[in-house]
Amino acid sequence: MQDLKYYVLWVKDSPLLKKYFDKYYNKLTSDLKEISDIWILSEEINKLLQVENRKFILNSDQSSVINLLYKEFVLKKSQKLLDKSVYVEMFKKEIDLFLAWKEQELIMNQWEKIYGTNIKLTNIDNNPFKTQEAHPEHHLNWAFIWYWERPEKEWLDVYNKTFELLKKLDEWIYDELNQIIDKIVPLWTARGLHNSASYKECIGHLYMWYTIDTKTPEINILEAIIHESSHNKLNLIMQFDEIVLNDKKEIYYSAIRPDARPIIWVFLWYHAFAPTMYIIMKAYVKWALWDDKLWFEKIVLYYIKTKFLQRTIKKYAVLTELWKEISEEIDFVILKMDELIRELNPSKELLLKAKEAQNKHFNEVNQNYNYLVY
């Protein structure tokens, strides 16, 4: 495929990201003007809009608050200013610091950067949407944001190691993550489990767990970062362009989820899982996993699941012309995965085990959600 636009994979100085961040910036500044018009932070916003402010406004620490204020006071026409006063005051403080050239005191510039990047690892977080559950199994609580059983330095060390590995595996995604991600927020330490979250209203924030009982925590983190950054990328694009035209009341099976969802969600997982497993397969081929049996089994299983997602999208998704392009790029990634699976050469027994696990999942979801469309 010669004409990739990098909706799915990554490229240095991505023109696609620049195009959509330009659109996002224009949207945010327009939203600010409407917020100002209803006499919320009018003086501060007007001053902000008269200076060079792009980096400040696009940063997820500011854009998430702008999205909240616009949603509550412009779209919902809320009169309950006190309910959101903490965010109004927070935004006022940040604007005042920015206008006073005190950039080091801004929330967006505090804490340590991860290996060779501009991405911060910090528990200083002002995303107002964080109190909402970003994932059905997470049950997020803002009070969970912390380093928990491991010191901050160990968290930073393992993230440094993760990004160092990523740069060796794929320098383009390493570079593009610098364009789209501002901050990684520690959410929990866990054993035998790794969760992550992100929000469509907060492009640039990732919330990450740290799995502390694995030999390769950097691989767990790498998997989650690519998955959530793919969601960030698609959520940015989806603010301006439609993907799927199916009726949202139609519920479909997903090879990834234990429940059934509208096909737009199936597409979101499809878009995230293909590049994620592609990179994890590359990590295995390049010995970053050192012949880890559990990861090898997971790679084979999720290779099968990604193929299942592909069939679901091909058969049932009603795509716009733009999103047919994206689907074709995912097909290209899956062809790359096909090459890697041949190189990995799993045994017939392992392939059979993965297919049986996938069929079991399919049957369980169909039993629990017998009103599925297909």
Q: What is the pLDDT along the chain (374 residues), one digit of tens a residue?
A: 558 899 999 999 999 999 999 999 999 999 999 999 999 999 999 999 999 999 999 999 999 999 999 998 899 887 665 567 888 999 999 999 999 999 999 999 989 899 999 999 999 888 998 877 555 555 555 457 788 899 999 999 999 999 999 999 999 999 999 999 999 999 888 888 888 999 999 999 999 999 999 888 999 999 999 999 999 999 999 999 988 999 988 899 999 988 888 999 999 999 999 999 999 999 999 887 777 888 999 999 999 999 999 999 999 999 999 989 999 999 999 999 999 999 999 999 999 999 999 999 999 998 888 766 66
Domain membership of residue 107 (yes or no) is yes
Q: Cα-flanking dihedrals φ and ψ of residue 183, to 5°? A: -150, 140
Model pLDDT, residue 83: 64
Phi-psi region of 39 (alpha: psi -120 to 50; beta: other; left: phi over 0): left
Q: Verify that 262 and 351 share a domain, yes or no.
A: yes
Contact predicate 70/31, CB 8 Å: yes
Quote the distance between the C-alpha of residue 179 and its chain's center.
13
Model pLDDT, residue 288: 77
Task: Please state the domain count of the chain.
Answer: 2
Q: How far apart are CA 192 and CA 175, in angstroms?
A: 30
Q: How far apart are CA 105 and CA 93, in angstroms?
A: 10
Model pLDDT, residue 311: 94
Q: How far apart are CA 286 and CA 294, in angstroms?
A: 17
Q: Across the beta sheet with 196-197, what order do the strands follow?
A: 112-113, 120-121, 183-190, 205-211, 196-197
Q: How far apart are CA 6 and CA 8, in angstroms?
A: 5
Q: Verify that 68 and 153 share a domain, yes or no.
A: yes
Domain boundary among 187, 210, 233: 210
Domain membership of residue 102 (yes or no) is yes
Model pLDDT, residue 331: 96
Q: How far apart are CA 172 and CA 242, in angstroms?
A: 26
Closest to 289 measured CA to CA, from 217, 237, 345: 217
Q: Verify that 29 and 148 share a domain, yes or no.
A: yes
Contact predicate 246/263, CB 8 Å: yes
Q: Verify that 40 and 177 share a domain, yes or no.
A: yes
Q: How far apart are CA 154 and CA 160, in angstroms?
A: 10
Q: How far apart are CA 186 and CA 164, in angstroms?
A: 19
Domain membership of residue 215 (yes or no) is no
Domain boundary among 161, 188, 210: 210
Domain membership of residue 220 (yes or no) is no
Domain membership of residue 228 (yes or no) is no
The whole-model pTM stands at 0.94
Q: Verify that 252 and 126 share a domain, yes or no.
A: no
Q: Verify that 156 and 258 share a domain, yes or no.
A: no
Q: How far apart are CA 76 and CA 78, in angstroms?
A: 5
Tokens of 206: 């990732």
Q: Verify that 247 and 203 share a domain, yes or no.
A: no
Structural domain span for residue 280: 241-368
SS3 35: helix
Burial 234-256 (b: 16+ CB within 10 A, else e): bbbbbeeeebbebeeeebbbbbb
Domain membership of residue 138 (yes or no) is yes
Domain membership of residue 173 (yes or no) is yes
Q: Verify that 52 and 164 share a domain, yes or no.
A: yes
Domain membership of residue 6 (yes or no) is no
Angle at 174 between CA 184 and CA 178, to 5 degrees: 55
Q: How far apart are CA 60 and CA 104, in angstroms?
A: 16
Q: Verify that 203 and 252 share a domain, yes or no.
A: no
Q: Verify that 46 and 141 share a domain, yes or no.
A: yes
Model pLDDT, residue 187: 86
Quote the distance between the C-alpha of residue 289 and its chain's center.
23
Q: Verify that 82 and 151 share a domain, yes or no.
A: yes
Q: Verify that 182 and 294 share a domain, yes or no.
A: no
